[in-house]
Amino acid sequence: MIDRADFLDRFGGVFEHSPFIAERALDANAIAEPLTAGGVHAALSDAFRKASHAEQLGVLVAHPDLAGKLAIAGGLTEDSRKEQAGAGLDRLSAGEHARFTELNTGYVEKFGFPFIIAVKGLTKDDILAAFEVRIGNAVETEFETAKTQVERIALLRLNALLPGD
């Protein structure tokens, strides 16, 4: 039997600052033992996709800007800090940081949420190239792309916590 408090403690932050996703997956009886990364990911992603547009937007908005103010001030979650550092975003030159800041600002103004990309395995140049392409997307397209990236980030986090299938 899955202990609710333990499950929420372990997996409530997999979708950035959005424990309601894990709660809804549990409440829907979508979590089965043994817990595997793929099984938990499928249940959490289903709960995320069934959330209202406003709730999904809230999950997107909960993500930090890449190489943004929170990163500089040390205010990222541990997962976000490790993910950004792994891509070299904690070691940007002044010029690179200025470009990320400019893109972050323009992106949020256009879409209403931060640029989200699963950075594992990417370099800062890969991320910058994706940023520059995606900022040209239509709002609906980018909303779907960001949701897909959030789910990819969640799977990467779950793979670090649980065995695969």
Ordered by where they begin, the domains of the chain are 64-149 (1.10.3330.10)
Residue that is written with structure tokens 């990417």 in the block: 122
- Amino acid 51 reads A
Catalytic residue positions, numbered: 63
- Token pair of 147, please? 């949701």
- Can you say whether residue 6 is alpha, beta or left, with left for phi > 0 and alpha for psi between -120 and 50 degrees? alpha
Tens-digit pLDDT profile for residues 83-127: 667 777 777 888 988 888 899 999 999 999 999 999 888 888 999
Q: Is 92 helix (H, G, I), strand (E, B) or coil?
A: coil
Q: What pTM, to 2 d.p., does this model score?
A: 0.88
Tens-digit pLDDT profile for residues 7-56: 999 999 999 889 999 999 999 999 999 999 999 999 999 999 999 999 99
